[in-house]
Chain A
């Protein structure tokens, strides 16, 4: 009796398991390739990065655990300080030119009564230029005897050494990138502006609110979520920027355009200090995560009011 019950129990358990396998088999099978690629090409590097940051990576002699030495070296290096300051300056300039102004342009485009489609197209067009063409293009524009200085000469301004003057080089790079990214940002804002219900403007106008006040109190609050989103996206993307700097100035003149990320790649592929580079990556990750958490908290605080 008892053995029979046990057998019966075992059988149901087995068939239950088999049933479960049958039920889940295809669902899991479809997920396996993605899980494998995520583990192999994303999670492994992420974890390896943390591990390497405590190691001296050497292909010949093998890796050696060195504790916090990599981090100590980073904090002791004055060049890292320069790179961090450069990156902050670069981010600030990008935010000033490439974050707020596109939203006003978006509002302006939404007010166009004709050629709105054409204007959208024109504004977005630079986004299509491949990076390598962008570099070639602007290298010529910034040439001391090139078009940029020619335009300045129309206004009787002194020629500027765009890429070799220490105080201008970073701004020149920001201008290049803003020229390219401006339109995409503006169009994202534009989608928000267009989505604001038109009756709000109608009601405001009837109540006697002027154009400026309509923009100030309806349009801008209406796209507030986009402002927060774009700020986070800008911070995350600009803080990692280095390719334009690498291609256009090579970090010069005198390291004024050396960004943190640029220094990180130099550390790895020029000085072959892979451990130090990994440690720089880990530090950057910590700072960025902290920043986005902060922004979210601030956003949460702003919203209820």
Chain B
């Protein structure tokens, strides 16, 4: 069909000529089609419901498409809840998450990978041990610990603990390991300081892995609703996810079309982000699967 020769897979073109295989293949296509439909249906539902009138929402059986798209629902949604402040908070939290933990993790993994360190083995063990311990088991003491450090209701309680991420250290270290040592030695002979080596050589050479980490940080920051709602006690400081959870998802008297207009808006940024960085995300996914 296409001009480039396609690499064969499990079923060869020859196999497909046998009726038994062809029927099986057809069945497989049908199942995949149904799966694709199942995956897409809730998206359609959310968006189309957000464009329905109040009457349409309450009819049974529900229709899928709105008769006339009601874009004014979005206006009404924004009037019901102002997302400006929570959005700004999310951005602040994300910027902090993008800089502070990234620096902590980056410096440590660079040191372990390219610099002289005493007792390297023990330090690596000290970091990697924490991968074995499931996060949920110290959820409560973590909270109490932040309380005794006086960090409750402060963004530092989100930024600093994010730096204690052994998985990211492992990921970055294995990336730095791939950079030739001679490069840094040459730089050092030319009088570059270690900090310069890190910021001017190591980081520019590892842009792809940093981008992957920044993308995953964005998704995590945008999604996380439980932990921030525990840590941040002042409602004005809350990011978008807990605000939407408390005021939209949990509200019982809000009309469905308005509710879904807000949900569609909240869904949009990660979707756009994903479509832009699709390649890196897929790559990162394989990275986590193979290395994990």
Contact residues of A with B, CB < 8 Å? 23-24, 26-28, 30-31, 33-35, 37-38, 40-46, 48-49, 52, 57, 105, 107-113, 119-126, 128-133, 135-141, 145-147, 150, 153, 179, 182-184, 187-188, 191-192, 198, 201-202, 205, 211, 214-215, 218-219, 226, 229, 233, 236, 239-240, 243, 246-247, 261, 264-265, 268-269, 274, 277-278, 281-282, 284-285, 288-289, 292
Contact = CB atoms under 8 A, between A and B. Distances in A.
Given A38-B126, A202-B8, A105 B278 contact: no
B189 interface: no
Main secondary structure of the interface of A (DSSP, over half): helix
A108 B25 CA distance: 9
B6 interface: yes
Interface in B11-56: 11-12, 14-15, 21, 24-25, 28-29, 31-32, 35-36, 38-40, 42-43, 45-46, 49
A113 B13 CA distance: 10
A28 B123 CA distance: 10
B143 A268 contact: yes
Q: Name, among A24, A48, A57, the residue most crowded by chain B CB atoms within 10 Å (CB to CB).
A: A48
Contact of B10 (A121, A150, A211, A229): A211
Given A37-B163, A137-B263, 5 more contacts: A27-B194, A33-B163, A46-B141, A124-B282, A136-B249
Nearest to B241: A132
A264 B139 contact: yes
Contacts of B45: 137, 140-141, 147
A205 B42 contact: no
A145 B60 contact: yes
A198 B104 contact: no
Nearest to B109: A34
B84 interface: no
B6 A113 contact: yes
B256 A140 contact: yes
Given A41-B145, A132-B225, A133-B263, A27 B164 contact: no
B236 interface: no
A95 B101 CA distance: 33
B136 A130 contact: no
Interface size classification for chain B? 35 or more
Given A133-B46, A240-B136, A111 B28 contact: yes
A284 B137 contact: yes
A59 to B, nearest CB: 9
B39 A122 contact: yes
Contacts of B206: none
Contacts of A48: 138, 141, 144-145
A51 to B, nearest CB: 8
Contacts of A125: 39-40, 43, 274
A274 B43 CA distance: 40
A26 B108 CA distance: 11
A198 B5 CA distance: 14
A241 to B, nearest CB: 9
13 contacts: A24-B117, A41-B163, A48-B141, A109-B32, A128-B219, A128-B267, A132-B244, A137-B46, A145-B60, A191-B286, A198-B8, A211-B15, A281-B139
B103 interface: yes
Most buried by A among B28, B141, B259: B141
Q: Which 6 A-B pairs have the closest CB atoms?
A: A34-B108, A188-B289, A30-B111, A27-B115, A240-B136, A49-B141
Contact of B115 (A26, A52, A126): A26
Interface string B78-97: 00000000000000000000
A23 B285 CA distance: 38
A130 B245 CA distance: 11
Contacts of A269: 230
Contacts of B282: 120, 124, 187
A126 B245 contact: no
Given A111-B28, A281-B136, A139 B267 contact: no
Nearest to B120: A27
A234 B105 CA distance: 26
A38 B145 contact: no
Contacts of B69: none
B10 A281 contact: no
B141 A45 contact: yes
A49 B133 CA distance: 12
Contacts of A229: 289, 292
B112 interface: yes
Interface string B211-253: 0000000010011011000100000000001101100110000
Given A49-B140, A288-B134, A188 B286 contact: yes
Interface in B135-163: 135-145, 149, 160-161, 163
